[in-house]
Amino acid sequence: MILDIFWRFILVGTLAFGGGQAALPLVERIAVAETGWVSPQDFATATAFGYVTPGPVLITGTFIGYKAAGIPGALAATAGAFLVPWALAAAAAQTLQRFVQHPWLGGFGRGAGPAVVGLLGVTAFSLSRSAFVTWPYALIAIVALFLALRTKVHPILIVLGGALAGAGLGLLPLDSLITYLSGLSNR
C-alpha cells in the first residue's frame, strides 16, 4: 500500500500544473473515488487543513497518506507529491529563463488557466456535497464567500472562523438548533 500511495502521489505531483489547487480534483479522484483511502468528509477536512496550514495545499496528501497507512503513508504521500515538482523546478529553472518571453509558453499558461478553473469548479461542487449537510453549514459558506469577495479578511481567518463555527455547531444537537431557530423565525 505504501508504494501505491507513493506512486499515485508522484502522478499528482507530476500533473499539478497550476499549483496544488489545480491538483485537488485528481487527489480527490484517487483518494476518494478510486482507492477509498478517505471518505468525502475526510477529504473535505484534509482540504481545509491544507488551506489553514502554512505551505502548499498539497500537504493535503500528507493527511490522506496518514489516514490510509499511518506515518509511512504520510511520508510516502508527501514525498510523492513534492519529489517531481522539486526535481523539475531545480532542473528547469535556468533553462526556462531563456523561454520566458516565448509565445508558446505564454499560450500554454493561458490555456492551462481556464482548464484549472474548470477543475476547481468540479472540486468545489464535490466538496459542497459533503460540506452542506444542513443549512447552517451552507450559511457558513455564504458568509465565507462574502468575506472573501467583499473584505480584506485573510483567507486563513475565514477558514478558522468557519472551523470554529462548525465546531460550535458540532457541540449542539443540530436538530434542536434548527427547531429553535425555526421557532424564532415564526415569532
CA distances from 183 to 133, 135, 153, 187 (A): 20, 15, 33, 7
Q: Which residues contact 99 (CB under 8 A, 6 or more apart)?
A: 105
Summarize pLDDT for 7-44 with one digit per residue, the tens: 999 888 888 766 777 788 889 999 999 999 999 888 98
Give residue 75's pLDDT: 95
Which cell numbers hold the place of 53? Answer: 496550514
- Which residues of the chain have a pLDDT value below 70? 17-18, 54-55, 94, 96-97, 100, 174-187
Residue environment code for 94-124, b if the CB has 16+ CB neighbours within 10 A, otherwise e: eeeeeeeeeeeeeeeeeeeeeebeebeeebe
- All three cell numbers of 173, joined, read 444537537
Quick check: pTM over 0.85? no
